[in-house]
Amino acid sequence: MWNELLKEIKNENRKSLARAVSLVENGYEGYFSFLQSLENNHTPVIGITGPPGAGKSTLTDALIEELTITGKKVAVLCIDPTSPFNNGALLGDRIRMNKWYSHPGVYIRSLASRGNAGGVNPKIIEITGLMQCADFDYIIIETVGAGQNEVEIAGIADVTVVVLVPDSGDDIQALKSGLMEIADIFVVNKSDRPAADIFTKNLRNALTVYNSTVPVLQTIATSKKNIQHLTNSIDERLQYISDNKKISLIAHKAFYLIREMRMKNISKEKLKEEISESMNKDEFNFYSFVAAHV
């Protein structure tokens, strides 16, 4: 089955790709052996992140248009938050980017975050690796609205674009959070707002304090303003990725997967049962309990 799927994926069969993504996402039997058989392709991965309401989806939509105009093939993985109450997810990007679903050079897949705190799907590394064996020129990952700790995308993407918006205090939040450290490019979207120039100036001044050379661009995604400038900046950053960053990305992904594999047989419910049994039998020591599971 897996070999046939891979053959179909390489023949640009999008239905087979969609099926393979579902199998990998749900941890279907044999999926990891399948991943081990994939070639080491290096399709560049672009991460789009930032706070809710910054216009990430609109910006992604504009990027798709700019890239496809030049004949590039683009895969887009859109992460939507999973409800903590019913475990469902509103995959709204299917609506926002609906005009691309019949485009032969574009593949869009919505994925739920499934409660992952990093702003991405728990299987995003494996799914991205699968997408890299297809015929795409770029892979774009749009995260959920990122907070101060939702910076997992920086360990996956070759170039991370942090999208901010004026009049929301995002420049101060960027200073407080990991967003300052993960950005390869800052985009001040909705730059037609009155405070955009001041906002951009403050952000650039803040970067100067950090001795950062990260570019800060202004865009209006709804009217496609400066999107070509953004794509040029992304390509420029992709050309000058250091060997140290490449190694760091691989190390991060390896660490993430190894941690997940070692934790796969551990659940909170199972731990609760074991703790209940231990407390009924003898004196319970929390740290001894933890040590027994490491």
Check residue 211 and give left, alpha or beta (phi > 0: left; psi -120 to 50: alpha). left
Q: Is the pLDDT of residue 39 over 70?
A: yes
Mean per-residue pLDDT of the chain: 85
Q: Rounded to 5 degrees, what are φ and ψ at 164?
A: -120, 170
- Residue 86: per-residue pLDDT: 44
pLDDT digits (tens, 9 = 90+) for 222-258: 999 999 999 999 999 999 898 888 899 999 999 989 9
Of 180, 193, 183, 77, which is closest to residue 130 (Cα–Cα)?
Answer: 77
Residue 118: its pLDDT value, please? 58
Using only C-alpha atoms, the chain has a radius of gyration, in whole angstroms, of: 21
The pLDDT of residue 142 is above 70:
yes
101-127: pLDDT as tens digits = 889 999 999 888 766 655 678 899 999
Backbone φ and ψ for 115, nearest 5 degrees, come out as: 80, 0
pLDDT of residue 85: 43
Does 45 have pLDDT greater than 70? yes
Name the residue with tokens 């897949």: 109
% of the chain with per-residue pLDDT over 90: 50
Percent of the chain with pLDDT over 70: 86
Domain ranges of the chain: 1-38, 39-261
Structure tokens at 32: 């990891």
Tokens 């992952």 locate to 116
The 3-state DSSP class for residue 249 equals: helix
Residues in Cβ contact with 19 at an 8 Å cutoff, skipping those fewer than 6 apart: 5
CATH of 39-261, one of 3.40.50.300, 3.40.47.10, 1.10.760.10, 3.60.15.10: 3.40.50.300
pTM for this entry? 0.88
Q: Residue 185's closest CA among 148, 152, 217?
A: 217
Q: pLDDT by residue (tens digit) across 274-294?
A: 898 888 876 788 888 889 888
Cα–Cα distance, 219 to 230 (Å, whole number): 8
For the segment 5-24, the average pLDDT, to the nearest whole number, is: 93
